[in-house]
């Protein structure tokens, strides 16, 4: 996960929301959130509404939450 984040961040300690969306697509996290869903997801994970950038910590929280959401969908659809 760290390697994927670093590849998109180009050596910075953060990524933009657009880069984050691409990163989720590259990691095949389904469904890829819309812009509005992504913003809501990041706020749930602790992002301040006026922050333009996402740290690795927020990224990791978002990945964990998306995995949990997807697991819940699989359990409820079975």
pLDDT digits (tens, 9 = 90+) for 8-44: 898 899 999 889 988 888 888 766 778 888 888 899 9
User: CA 42, CA 39: separation in Å to the nearest integer?
Assistant: 5
pLDDT of residue 54: 93
- Give the Å distances, CA to CA, from 75 to 29, 64, 69: 17, 16, 10
Residue 76 in any domain: the answer is no
DSSP 11: T
Task: Supply the range of the domain harboring residue 20.
Answer: 2-55
User: CA 13, CA 29: separation in Å to the nearest integer?
Assistant: 22
How many domains are there within the chain? 1
pLDDT of residue 51: 84
pTM: 0.82
Identify the CATH number of the domain in which residue 13 sits: 1.10.238
CB 53 within 8 A of CB 19: no
User: CA 38, CA 41: separation in Å to the nearest integer?
Assistant: 5
């Amino acid at each position: 996960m760290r390697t994927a984040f670093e590849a998109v961040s180009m050596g910075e300690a953060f990524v933009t929301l657009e880069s984050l969306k691409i990163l989720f697509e590259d990691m095949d996290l389904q469904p890829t959130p819309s812009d509005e869903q992504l913003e809501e997801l990041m706020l749930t994970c602790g992002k301040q509404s006026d922050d333009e950038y996402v740290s690795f910590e927020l990224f990791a929280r978002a990945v964990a939450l998306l995995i949990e959401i997807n697991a819940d969908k699989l359990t409820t659809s079975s």
